[in-house]
């Protein structure tokens, strides 16, 4: 028996989408990669949302059978709304995945995590043979850290320890991310806090150096991942 839910009928992306036309273009391109029977890892953010919508249209029109593995609660709800069956990384390996990014450098290193979902997004990229990273041209930078800080997900009681240890990596500033639609800090889907950390220089070793701090769950730095393909407008 199916739920009869007004909540799902009215659930929608909750903010204006910056560079919507450009994002629509790359989202449609990625939707064209879908084949019958695919298990697809679904990234988070507005570009991933648009790709999922485009995929849902193909699924309906072409009667495709696919499964999705969402990287966030938001994408889980959009999959349910689109009637795309959902599975998990514990059950299936994705055939391929798609996601967005906040910055991409010439070597395809990434900053991700404006949406705070970088922990599951990183798991998905590691699990997938191929992940398509969809970006509009505003995301392509000569060097990482120009427009976005590095988000770092931190176990709550470790926040002071991580702040102190982070100083050894010479950040230019460290901020606790605060929420919209709630008072106080953003709480991630894993029950953690997010530090937004600005660096003047992001060497290739920084992802591992941040991860080595006890209390850090994950960062939004993706350095040297060979299994990603950049799709831009």
Catalytic center residues = 121
- Smaller CB separation from ligand 5RP, 95 or 153: 153
Pairing of the two strands 173-176 and 193-198: antiparallel
CB of 49 to ligand 5RP, least distance (A): 8
DSSP letter assigned to residue 156: G
Q: Which of 211, 212, 208, 215 is nearest to 154 (CA)?
A: 215
- Smaller CB separation from ligand 5RP, 64 or 140: 140
For ligand 5RP, the binding residues (CB under 6 A) are 43-48, 99-102, 112-118, 121
d(Cα 47, Cα 224) in Å, to the nearest integer? Answer: 22
CB of 121 to ligand 5RP, least distance (A): 6
- Smaller CB separation from ligand 5RP, 140 or 161: 140
d(Cα 117, Cα 224) in Å, to the nearest integer? Answer: 20
The CA-atom distances, in angstroms, between 32 and each of 36, 54, 56, 57, 233 are: 12, 9, 11, 11, 15
DSSP letter assigned to residue 168: G
């Amino acid at each position: 028996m199916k739920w009869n839910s007004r909540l799902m009928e009215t659930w929608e992306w909750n903010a204006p989408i910056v560079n919507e036309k450009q994002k629509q273009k790359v989202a449609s391109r990625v939707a064209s990669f879908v084949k019958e029977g695919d298990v697809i890892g679904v990234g988070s953010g507005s570009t991933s949302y648009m790709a999922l919508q485009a995929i849902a249209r193909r699924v309906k029109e072409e009667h495709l059978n696919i499964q999705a593995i969402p990287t966030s609660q938001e994408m889980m709800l959009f999959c349910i709304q689109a009637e795309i069956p959902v599975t998990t990384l514990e059950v299936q390996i994705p055939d391929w995945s798609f996601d967005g990014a906040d910055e991409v450098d010439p070597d395809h290193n990434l900053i991700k995590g404006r949406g705070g979902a970088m922990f599951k997004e990183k798991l998905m990229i590691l699990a997938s043979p191929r992940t398509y990273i969809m970006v509009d041209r505003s995301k392509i930078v000569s060097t990482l850290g120009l427009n976005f800080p590095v988000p770092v997900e931190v176990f709550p009681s470790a926040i002071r320890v991580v702040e102190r240890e982070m100083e050894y990596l010479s950040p230019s500033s460290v901020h606790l991310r605060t929420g919209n639609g709630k008072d106080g800090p953003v709480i991630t889907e894993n029950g953690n806090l997010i530090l937004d950390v600005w660096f003047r220089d992001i060497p290739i070793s920084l992802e591992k150096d941040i991860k080595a701090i006890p209390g850090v769950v994950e960062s939004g730095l993706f350095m040297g991942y060979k299994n990603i393909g950049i799709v831009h407008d």
